[in-house]
């Protein structure tokens, strides 16, 4: 400890960052400068408001790791939205070598409220943490560092989320958001008050001094406001840091399933629709899984049909129907999607390709197909050990043409040596689609990237792809913008649940297409709201808050 302490003492003032020797990332000068400014000038309390896709998570991770190495923090709480808990855990572990517990881990269920006391490093969903029984415990703990992701959700003082975060005891705090102002300047005031109370005086004084009467979005005394904001906020922009990604091209490959393939798809879907809408429905999550499986491959749906047919709690008629579906699925040799896949792989002339699927059974189907065609492949899934995963990535990089990966694939790993991606199936959550694309379309990619989407006609996935592509041009968005858009939708209903309700609640194709069109229009409006926010912030902030 003495030697360690002596070493640390050589670097007082954070002029030299110790963490750069140990982090496993390709970092950029603006990210290092941002971390250094927060550590040196901001006293560890800052809003990181970089434009989408510039790596706010990396900047927060550098600050976290630096404090950790210097022994300045030991108890850390990271709060984010539910869909990003696992992504944060994987990024912090793989890039910064820090092991966090999360509210998605089994220990959270077994430990109960003691979870917050027992573990020093926690990543949690803010929606979970703010519940009464958890909130009381969290407010008793003194945290060394609090990191809030998607901090624009804390824009209103009247919300339980804002009040919950405001009462957390913390020495250092980082608020991450690409959209610090969405509707009016008071939102910015509320976020800065969480971070540094009094920085902008009282709300009444702030409005009097800095908000134009009659226009809550238009600031006055901009130079004075700029000076105050520059003490707590950093906002890097693409134009300033000169980060440009090569062009991205997306192509949808439409597939017409064979009659027997479409027949089993329709029969399974009909069973799901009947059960989903019944008063005493089977577990809705399981039914949703079944629908996603049949959209991926017939092989993927077989084990679930078999397992459900053996459920003693189901009535005999239902078990009989499920068993019939299982036998019918077992007799079909699917080939339409694999044939389309082979055509694409042959057309790219030996270029490396990352293939994504949601299910292990489908992964086996693809693997067998490519092996029989003499195409070298590697596998990547959540059941593999860390050693096997690393070996698989290495083989893909050095020798094999294709990596077949499940959703666990490649998070936080450098796959920029590949610039072709194929979605064999389509997740219902656009965030997961974006994360897939982000494995190759990221800072450091040198080549134009190509995304191929297999789309089986008249399936739920085809409808999802249609609205994502036509209504919001998803495959042209910057990585990270999808979350900004979805944040403008109804927070009480997830994207997947909305799609499932539309699919199961439509009595005809016309009704289905009408509801899909309506939901697509909502998505379009959400994108327009995001673009308006983006324009507002460009007008408000420009390039005044970037690192020097």
Strands 377-380 and 420-423: unpaired
Least confident interval from 9-23, 88-102, 297-311, 375-389 = 9-23
* pLDDT band (50, 70, 90) for residue 7: very low
Mean pLDDT of 343-356: 97
Residue carrying the six token digits 């990089």:
397
CA distances from 496 to 103, 428, 431 (A): 21, 5, 11
The per-residue pLDDT for 487 is 77
Over the stretch 475-510, which tens digit does the pLDDT of each residue have?
Answer: 888 777 887 788 777 656 778 989 999 999 999 999
What distance in Å separates the CA atoms of residue 441 and residue 420, rounded to the nearest whole number? Answer: 9
Q: Crossing angle for the helix pair 259-277 and 495-504, nearest 10 degrees? A: 100
The contacts of residue 208 (CB under 8 Å, 6+ apart) are none
Q: What are phi and psi of 497, to 5 degrees?
A: -65, -40
What distance in Å separates the CA atoms of residue 409 and residue 411, rounded to the nearest whole number? Answer: 6
What distance in Å separates the CA atoms of residue 76 and residue 82, rounded to the nearest whole number? Answer: 18
261 touches 331 (CB < 8 A): no
In 429-502, beta strands by DSSP E: 449-456
125 touches 80 (CB < 8 A): yes
The two counts, helices (H) then strands (E), for the chain are 25, 13
Q: Which helix (H) or strand (E) holds 482?
A: helix 481-486
The per-residue pLDDT for 5 is 45
213 touches 86 (CB < 8 A): no
Rounded to the nearest integer, the mean pLDDT of the chain is 89
Q: What are phi and psi of 380, to 5 degrees?
A: -145, 120
Specify the 3-state DSSP secondary structure of 108: helix
Residue 359: Cβ within 10 Å count? 23
Specify the 3-state DSSP secondary structure of 340: helix
- 112 Rama sector, left if φ>0, alpha if ψ -120 to 50, beta otherwise: left
Mean pLDDT of 288-296: 96
Sheet with 377-380: list strands edge to edge. 248-255, 449-456, 420-423, 353-356, 402-405, 377-380
Residue 215 has pLDDT above 90, yes or no: no
The per-residue pLDDT for 82 is 82
* pLDDT band (50, 70, 90) for residue 249: very high
What distance in Å separates the CA atoms of residue 246 and residue 447, rounded to the nearest whole number? Answer: 6
Helices (H), 41-166: 56-69, 85-96, 106-111, 115-118, 126-129, 132-138, 160-166
The contacts of residue 177 (CB under 8 Å, 6+ apart) are 47, 48, 49, 150, 151, 152, 191
Dihedral of CA 377/389/337/445: which sign? Answer: negative
Q: Which residue has the higher pLDDT, 257 or 2?
A: 257
Mean pLDDT of 184-209: 93
Please name which of 127, 125, 13, 20 lies closest in space to residue 66, comparing C-alpha atoms: 20
Specify the 3-state DSSP secondary structure of 327: helix
Helix H, strand E, coil C: the string for 16-32 is CCHHHHCCCCCCCHHHH
Give the global pTM: 0.75
Over the stretch 134-173, which tens digit does the pLDDT of each residue have?
Answer: 999 999 999 999 999 989 889 899 999 999 999 999 999 9
What distance in Å separates the CA atoms of residue 189 and residue 414, rounded to the nearest whole number? Answer: 38
Strands 402-405 and 233-234: unpaired
Please name which of 285, 212, 341 lies closest in space to residue 496, comparing C-alpha atoms: 285
Q: Which residue has the higher pLDDT, 540 or 87?
A: 87
* pLDDT band (50, 70, 90) for residue 315: confident
Dihedral of CA 315/316/321/322: which sign? Answer: positive
């Amino acid at each position: 400890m003495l030697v360690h302490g002596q070493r640390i003492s050589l670097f007082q003032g954070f002029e030299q960052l110790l963490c750069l020797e140990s982090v496993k990332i390709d970092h950029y000068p603006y990210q290092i400068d941002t971390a250094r400014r927060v550590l040196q000038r901001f006293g560890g309390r800052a809003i990181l408001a970089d434009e989408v896709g510039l790596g706010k998570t990396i900047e927060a991770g550098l600050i976290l790791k630096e404090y950790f190495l210097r022994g300045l923090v030991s108890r850390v709480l990271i709060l984010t939205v539910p869909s990003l808990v696992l992504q944060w855990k994987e990024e912090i572990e793989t890039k910064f070598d820090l092991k966090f517990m999360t509210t998605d881990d089994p220990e959270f269920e077994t430990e109960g409220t003691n979870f917050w006391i027992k573990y020093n490093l926690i990543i949690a969903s803010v929606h979970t943490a703010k519940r009464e029984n958890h909130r009381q415990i969290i407010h008793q703990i003194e945290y060394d560092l609090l990191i809030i992701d998607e901090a624009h959700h804390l824009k209103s003082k009247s919300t339980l989320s804002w009040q919950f975060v405001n009462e957390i005891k913390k020495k250092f705090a980082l608020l991450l958001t690409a959209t610090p102002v969405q509707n009016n300047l008071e939102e910015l005031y509320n976020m800065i008050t969480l971070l540094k109370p009094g920085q902008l005086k009282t709300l009444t004084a702030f409005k009097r001094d800095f908000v134009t009467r009659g226009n809550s979005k238009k600031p006055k005394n901009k130079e004075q406001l700029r000076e105050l904001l520059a003490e707590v906020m950093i906002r890097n922009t693409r134009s300033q840091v000169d980060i440009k990604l090569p062009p991205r091209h997306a192509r949808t490959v439409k597939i017409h399933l064979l009659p027997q393939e479409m027949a089993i798809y329709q029969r399974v879907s009909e069973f799901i629709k009947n059960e989903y809408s019944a008063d005493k429905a089977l577990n809705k999550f399981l039914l949703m899984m079944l629908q996603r499986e049949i959209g991926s491959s017939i092989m993927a749906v077989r084990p679930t049909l078999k397992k459900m047919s053996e459920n003693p709690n189901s009535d005999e008629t239902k078990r009989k129907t499920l068993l019939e579906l299982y036998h019918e699925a077992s007799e079909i040799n699917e080939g339409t999607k694999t044939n389309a896949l082979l055509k694409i792989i042959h057309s790219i002339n030996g270029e490396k390709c990352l293939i994504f699927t949601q299910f292990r059974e489908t992964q086996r189907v693809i693997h067998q197909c490519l092996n029989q065609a003499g195409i070298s492949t590697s596998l990547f899934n959540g059941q593999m050990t860390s050693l096997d995963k690393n070996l698989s990535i290495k083989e893909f990089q050095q020798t094999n043409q294709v990596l077949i990966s499940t959703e666990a694939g490649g998070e936080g790993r450098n796959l920029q040596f590949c610039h072709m991606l194929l979605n064999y199936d389509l997740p219902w959550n656009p965030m997961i689609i974006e994360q897939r694309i982000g494995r190759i379309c990221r800072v450091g990619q040198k080549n134009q990237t190509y995304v191929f989407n297999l789309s089986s006609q008249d399936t739920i996935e085809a409808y999802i792809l249609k609205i994502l592509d036509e209504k919001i041009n998803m495959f042209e968005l910057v990585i990270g913008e999808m979350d900004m858009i979805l944040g403008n939708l109804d927070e009480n209903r997830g994207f997947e649940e909305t799609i499932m309700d539309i699919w199961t609640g439509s009595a005809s194709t016309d009704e289905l297409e009408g509801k899909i069109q309506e939901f697509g229009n909502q998505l379009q409006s959400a994108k327009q709201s995001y673009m308006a926010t983006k324009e507002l912030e460009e007008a408000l902030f420009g390039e005044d808050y970037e690192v020097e």
